[in-house]
Amino acid sequence: MRDTPRIIIRPEATDDIPSIRSLTDAAFVGMEHSKQTEGAIVDALRQAGALSLSLVAERGGAVIGHVAFSPVLINGEDVGWFGLGPVSVSPSLQRGGVGSALIKEGLKLLAHRGARGCVVLGEPDYYRRFGFTSDHALSYRGAPAEYFQSLVLAGEPLEGEVAYHAGFEAT
C-alpha cells in the first residue's frame, strides 16, 4: 500500500501564482454557469490588492486547489463582509473534499480576523453545508435569490445590495 501525500492548506505565495492561474482556468472548463473568466478575476483581484485571503491546497508539492476571498460592499459601504470565490480544484480531484477543506479553512480564518460575514453566488446544495443560506435580506444584481447566499460570522444579519470588487468584471 502506497502512502498518499497529505493535503496542506496555506496562504498563496508568489511562486504559486502561475499554478493558481492554470488550475483555475482548468477547473472551470465545461462548467455550466462559467464565462471562463475565473482566472482573470483572481489575477485582477490580486493586482488590485483585493485578495483579502487567498489559500492554496498543496499535495506533494503541487498546487491542487485554490480559494479566494475579497471584500464586498453592502449598500455602498465596507462593513467587514467578504465574497467567497472563485474556488478551484484540479479537475481530476474535484468532488474529493479539497474545495470543502479550502472553504472551511478560509471561513475560519476570516472569522478569526474579525470578518462580520461572507456571501457567495453558487450552488445552494453545496454551500449550505458550510452554513450559507439564502434566507437573508441581501441581494446581488438580480441573481436568483436561492443562488445568492450569506453567512453571518459575527453580529447581526444585514440587508441591502451587495457589490463585489470591480475585479469580478475581468474578461
Residue with cell 462548467: 31
pTM of the model: 0.93
| Tens-place pLDDT, residues 36-78 | 789 999 999 999 999 999 999 999 999 999 999 999 999 999 9
Q: What is the pLDDT of residue 145?
A: 86
| Tens-place pLDDT, residues 107-159 | 999 999 999 999 999 999 999 999 999 988 999 987 888 999 999 999 999 99
Q: Comparing C-alpha atoms, which of 144, 142, 117 is closest to residue 132?
A: 117
| Tens-place pLDDT, residues 92-104 | 989 889 999 999 9
pLDDT tier for residue 31 given thresholds of 50, 70 and 90: confident
* 99: exposed, middle or buried (Cβ count in 10 Å: 0-12, 13-18, 19+): buried
CA 106 – CA 11 distance, rounded (Å): 10
Residue 130: count of CB within 10 angstroms of its CB: 16
Biggest CA-to-CA distance, the chain:
56
Q: What is the pLDDT of residue 32?
A: 73
